[in-house]
Each structure stands twice: as structure tokens, then as C-alpha cells.
């Protein structure tokens, strides 16, 4: 608690930002339901309501606590996934960190991955927020500048030390926040057979259940069901697929193999690859002759 308080003092700006959000919600008399989750959306062609229910400390549903709410829009947030596709493709060593979104690259203090000369910062290394991303970018840039001779090593060292101090303070604050928002394992008890796990390919939990248990590798389930093969390439569902495999094979989720990354790392229009002519420059960016 003392640690969280001192980390909070060192991140006064972030604390103020959080308090301002809370005040906004209170000032607009928006009801807050702590310890609750959306059980389901109501409506056929559009949302006409929601049903919420209580969850326990592990996020398992508490039976008999369902309650309808009159809403026309539902937004849900269940954490972030790091953008590690390119790092995976070039063979960077990965480690598991539940609080930073699952698998993240192993890095040195200077943000260099296990592949020499390849640095990972920001959301490419675990989602730790905007301030941490900026500081990590600076540390990596200073390291590259010193290594290439663009900046004297002694000057780089002084500046890196300063950035590392800010980075540590942000990390302590994040650790306290992340613990609050950490996804608890009971969430996986919410699934029923017809729960859609892969939204891009519309694969249900029931379809995946037919194949989990036959292999310890989620890539096997992926190739048989197409789960994680759609537009988002598993950003929405890969953790759920991995968890289903972990549960049925008795593995710790941290030990389950990760899904292979396939190029292109992010969806791009076919024309961007196939069309050799450069795209036209938007008129507001054109230089005037006058």
C-alpha cells in the first residue's frame, strides 16, 4: 500500500487524470456497478437492453444476481494485447506477463530484445500506457544513438539514467493499476457452447471444444476451426483459444504455446501491396505555387 501511495505521488498527473474521469461520471449521475459484469446483450438487430450480474473476486458469476438494464449501447473492455506479431516472426524470445497482456518480448534495460539490434517499446512490448511508451522510446533511441556514435556514450548514460528513473516510477504506478484491472480466471466460466469466441470467423466455444484436448498446441485448433485466422489475426480471441487448450490439457496458461504470427502482421488493402503507383497526395498537403 505504501509502495502504491509513493508511486501515486510520483505520478500526480496520471492520478489527477483518473480523478477527473471519476468526477465526470459522478457529476453526470451515471450509476456505477462495482463487482458486476455484462451477462448478455438483449435485442435482435440492435441492442435494446443489457443484463448484468454480480461476479465474485475471481470473476465467476454469482447465480441469481441477474438484473436487466435499459441501454441502447454496450461497450466492453477486457484488457489489451501487445503488438508482438513482427517480433514473433523474427524469432525474438518471449516471456509471459499476464498484467502486460500475455506474451511479451524479453528485453534488456535498454529495451533491446534477444535479437541483437532489435528494440521493442510501447505496445510492441506489453501495454503499459502512453507515458511508459514515450519513455521507453527515448531509452531505446539513446541506446541506438550511443551505439552508432551519434551521441557520446557518457552523455547517453546520464540521460538514460534519468529516463530509467521515470520509467521505474511509471511501472510502479502501473503495477498497482494493472492489479486492479487484471482479468481474473473466472471470466472463462461465462462461456456457453454458443458463445462466439472468434468474431472474425464466427467460431463458437462449442466448435472449439470439439478439438481442444487432442493437442497441447493451440495452432492445431486454429488450423481445424479457423479461429484466429480472420481479419484481426487473433487479437480478439487468441487468449480465449489458448485458455481453452490450457484448461483441457491441464497446462498453465503461461506455458501454452503462442499462436503463430503470419504475414501481413496487420490487415492491409491488396492495392497497397499490388499497385506500384504511389497514392495521390491529399490536396491539403500539396504545396501552393504562390
Judged by CB under 6 A, does residue 122 bind ligand FAD? yes
Among 223, 199, 202, residue whose Cα is nearest residue 211? 223
What are the grid coordinates assigned to 227, written together? 479461429
How many helices (H) and strands (E) the chain has is answered by 9, 7
Stretch that binds ligand FAD, among 31-39, 122-130, 141-149, 161-169 (CB under 6 A): 122-130
8 counts as binding ligand FAD under rule CB under 6 A: no
Residues 129-168, one symbol each (x = binds ligand FAD by CB under 6 A, - = not), give xxx-x-----------------------------------
Distance (Å, rounded) from C-alpha 98 to C-alpha 94?
A: 13
CB 236, min distance to ligand FAD, A: 13
Calculate the CA 52 to chain-centre distance. Answer: 24
Contact between 123 and ligand FAD (CB under 6 A)?
yes
- Show the CA angle centred on residue 236, arms to residues 233 and 242, nearest 5°: 85
127 binds ligand FAD (CB under 6 A): yes
Site string for ligand FAD, 167-206 (x = CB under 6 A): ----------------------------------------
Tell how strand 102-105 and strand 94-97 pair up.
Answer: antiparallel
Q: Does 120 bind ligand FAD (CB under 6 A)?
A: no
What is the C-alpha separation between 227 and 219, in angstroms, rounded?
A: 9
Residue ranges in contact with ligand FAD by CB under 6 A: 122-123, 127, 129-131, 133
Amino acid at each position: 500500500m505504501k509502495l502504491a501511495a509513493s508511486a501515486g505521488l510520483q505520478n500526480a498527473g496520471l492520478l489527477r487524470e483518473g480523478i477527473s474521469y471519476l468526477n465526470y461520471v459522478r457529476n453526470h449521475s451515471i450509476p456505477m456497478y462495482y463487482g458486476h459484469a455484462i451477462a448478455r446483450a438483449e435485442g435482435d438487430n440492435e441492442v435494446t437492453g443489457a443484463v448484468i450480474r454480480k461476479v465474485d473476486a475471481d470473476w465467476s458469476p454469482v447465480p441469481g444476481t441477474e438484473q436487466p438494464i435499459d441501454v441502447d449501447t454496450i461497450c466492453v473492455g477486457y484488457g489489451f494485447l501487445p503488438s508482438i506479431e513482427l517480433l514473433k516472426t523474427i524469432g525474438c524470445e518471449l516471456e509471459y506477463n499476464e498484467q502486460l497482456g500475455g506474451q511479451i518480448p524479453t528485453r534488456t534495460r535498454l529495451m533491446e530484445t534477444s535479437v541483437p539490434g532489435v528494440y521493442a517499446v510501447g505496445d510492441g512490448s506489453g501495454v503499459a500506457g502512453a507515458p511508459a511508451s514515450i519513455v521507453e522510446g527515448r531509452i531505446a533511441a539513446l541506446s541506438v544513438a550511443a551505439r552508432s556514435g551519434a551521441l557520446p556514450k557518457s552523455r547517453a548514460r546520464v540521460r538514460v539514467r534519468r529516463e530509467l528513473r521515470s520509467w521505474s516510477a511509471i511501472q510502479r504506478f502501473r503495477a498497482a493499476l494493472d492489479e486492479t484491472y487484471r482479468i481474473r480466471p473466472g471470466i472463462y466460466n461465462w462461456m456457453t457452447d454458443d458463445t462466439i469466441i472468434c468474431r472474425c470467423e464466427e467460431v463458437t466455444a462449442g466448435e472449439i471444444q470439439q478439438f481442444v484436448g487432442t493437442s497441447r498446441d493451440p495452432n492445431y485448433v486454429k488450423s481445424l476451426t479457423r479461429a484466429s485466422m480472420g481479419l484481426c489475426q487473433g487479437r480478439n480471441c487468441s487468449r480465449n483459444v489458448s485458455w481453452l487448450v490450457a484448461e483441457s490439457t491441464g497446462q498453465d496458461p503461461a506455458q501454452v504455446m503462442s499462436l503463430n504470427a503470419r504475414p501481413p502482421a496487420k490487415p492491409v488493402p491488396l492495392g497497397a501491396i499490388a499497385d506500384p503507383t504511389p497514392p495521390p497526395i491529399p490536396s491539403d498537403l500539396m504545396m501552393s505555387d504562390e
